[in-house]
Amino acid sequence: MRSLTPADQYPFLGQQLPCLVGGEFVGTERSFPNVSPVNGRVIARVSEADAALVDRAVQAARAALKGPWGRLTMQERAALLRKVADRIEQRFAEFVSAEIADTGKTFTQASSLDIPRGAANFRSYADLALARAAECYEMGTADGRGALNYSVHKPVGVVAVIAPWNLPFLLLTWKVAPALVCGNTVVAKPSEETPSSAQLLAQVMQECGVPPGVFNLVHGFGPGSAGEALVSHPDVAAIAFTGESATGAAIMKSAAPSVKALSFELGGKNAALVFADADFDAAVAGTMRSVFSNCGQVCLCSERVYVERPIFERFVAALAERAARLKVGGPFEGADMGPLISRAHRDKVLSYYRLAREEGGEIVTGGGVPRFGDERDSGAFIEPTIVRGLAEQARCVREEIFGPICHVAPFDAEEQAVQMANDTRYGLCAAVWTSNLQRAHRVARAMEVGIAWVNDWFLRDLRTPFGGVKLSGIGREGGLHSLAFFSEPMNICVKL
Ligand code: NAD
Ligand code: 6OD
């Protein structure tokens, strides 16, 4: 065990994190605390951008579109993205520490998923942008000479990127990288809970020579703060947002008067379907991952697990046994699961633990808060929890909880499993566990979601479409889909 707290590794310990506006770091009088979810300690303060500072950031981003940035070729922008990826890797330890300090997530996860994916996002979009083909259509004309149509891609303009706290660096860079490679300028707002890896990214942008105003960073909250000021700003052309569905609805309202382009990755109430013919051990291990990764705080996590009746009892017992053995603890303790993001979020998740009992569910394992007898008792730790016996209409089965909890229910027939999985207002992803090839394709395709995994979960190829249907989002990101969102295509028709 290295330390109970990441504070000693944290690059901004005791500092006030500034915003980045037009190439200058700007502190503000108004600030808010950055609190460690490991022990409740204030580890830094964060400058809060007001509407005036957000406006300065947007104007700087607008001006930068017409500066040297606007004259760079795609190749030059792609090269800059690669430089950013290299620099993230050079400062890898600091990024990992920053992410851990804000979230309390395990060192293993931050160093194997969050930060490497941040660097990979920049490299992957550099590759993709260079490989994008232009559309070209030859056409006949009455005079027999014909014409040639070809498309060019222009930037959309100033893009607002708004990120949540669960995978802060992965999700921010997932949008910043394609926005920049397409020639846009960005005003990014990380979650108020997780400002630190974005702060390091701002430094990296400066170090790599990204021109002033191309990448701006504003800190703050949503309503009545930097977030709302940004999404309602008339000079922001597009908003790429990841977060709760209700927040998406509020942002749509703010964005409506200036008819902004929107890309939304929102909440989920994802199902895992486990058929009796599945590789039992792989299905248990995969479901453990899909329920408890990042303390259940991944939009893709399975909160509803449907298991075919012949293996139901054995599956629940295996899941419960493994969940009870999960080690909950601080980032450097070799734990399987860190804390939730905050005490406030823990109160919300605990309210669902209580509700599960009130709604007639049986808590198979967990259901409470672990006691450590040290400073971690002031953190936001919670027990991994499995519930059974709830009605499909129970709120715990219908509402996104975003914590380490799932409800397990049996099914008797494939059609019933499909019906139950799809009976939700969300539609982000599903995991199907079966060894029957035909069933795998049939059931995966029947899922009303944007992403279905067969015999795995959260296996990512960054070229693939990513997003959700229903309350889970608008549009798709990933690969060419992101490049399309962040570009304005224009057709040029040449009479020959
Ligand atoms: P959130 O919606 O509370 O906040 C996300 C961001 O939006 C934050 O930066 C916040 O400050 C900002 N914000 C809030 N209100 C705003 C407003 N009115 N105007 C502008 N900005 C505003 O989400 P969260 O709690 O940070 O993250 C958890 C949620 O995100 C869960 O619902 C989860 O499912 C979802 N999520 C979805 C995906 C996906 O890919 N579909 C990925 C990660 C998280
Ligand atoms: O892997 C990704 O690209 C992605 N957007 C993951 C989202 C995870 C949600 O918490």
pLDDT tens, 423-458? 999 999 999 999 999 999 999 999 999 999 999 999
For residue 484, which phi and psi values (nearest 5 degrees)?
-65, -45
Cα 164 to ligand 1 centre (Å): 4
Whether the Cβ atoms of residue 3 and residue 335 lie closer than 8 Å to each other: no
Distances (CA, A) of 12 to 32, 42, 195, 256, 388: 14, 11, 10, 37, 44
User: What is the sign of the dihedral through the CA atoms of 224, 230, 234 and 240?
Assistant: negative
**Predicted pLDDT at 1:** 40
Closest ligand 1 atom, residue 230 Cα: 20
Residue 354, burial from CB neighbour count under 10 angstroms (0-12, 13-18, 19+):
exposed
**CB neighbourhood size of 68 (10 A):** 11
193 belongs to the catalytic site: no
Whether the Cβ atoms of residue 151 and residue 490 lie closer than 8 Å to each other: yes
* Tokens at 135, concatenated: 């559309």
* Tokens at 247, concatenated: 């927040």
For residue 467, which phi and psi values (nearest 5 degrees)?
160, -175
Closest ligand 1 atom, residue 468 Cα: 41
Closest CA to 405 of 428, 421, 391, 386: 386
B/e letters for 139-163, b = 16+ CB within 10 Å, e = fewer, are eeeeeeeeeeeeeebebbbbbbbbb
pLDDT tens, 2-13? 444 455 679 999
Q: Helix or strand or coil: residue 26?
A: strand
CA–CA gap between residue 181 and residue 184 (Å, rounded):
7
Cα 70 to ligand 1 centre (Å): 31
- Residues 48, 94, 265, 308: which is the catalytic one? 265
**CB neighbourhood size of 382 (10 A):** 25
- Residues 19, 182, 299, 429: which is the catalytic one? 299
pLDDT tens, 376-428? 999 999 999 999 999 999 999 999 999 999 999 999 999 999 999 999 999 99
> DSSP E strands: which ranges in 156-258?
158-162, 185-189, 215-217, 238-242
**Predicted pLDDT at 9:** 78
Pocket of ligand 1 (CB under 6 A): 162-166, 171, 189, 191-192, 221-223, 227-228, 231, 242-244, 247, 250-251, 265-268, 299, 400, 402, 428, 468, 472-473
CB neighbours of 403 closer than 8 A, spacing ≥ 6?
295, 296, 297, 340, 345, 346, 348, 349, 352, 382, 385
Under DSSP, the state recorded for 210 is P
295 belongs to the catalytic site: no
Whether the Cβ atoms of residue 340 and residue 382 lie closer than 8 Å to each other: yes
The ranges of the chain with pLDDT < 70 are 1-8
Pocket of ligand 2 (CB under 6 A): 166-167, 171, 174, 265, 298-300, 460, 466
Identify the residue whose C-alpha is closest to ligand 1 atom 35: 243
* Tokens at 398, concatenated: 């219908």
Its pTM stands at 0.97
- Pairing mode, strands 16-17 and 42-47: parallel
CA–CA gap between residue 407 and residue 477 (Å, rounded):
29
CA–CA gap between residue 184 and residue 180 (Å, rounded):
5
CA–CA gap between residue 234 and residue 257 (Å, rounded):
8
CA–CA gap between residue 430 and residue 419 (Å, rounded):
13
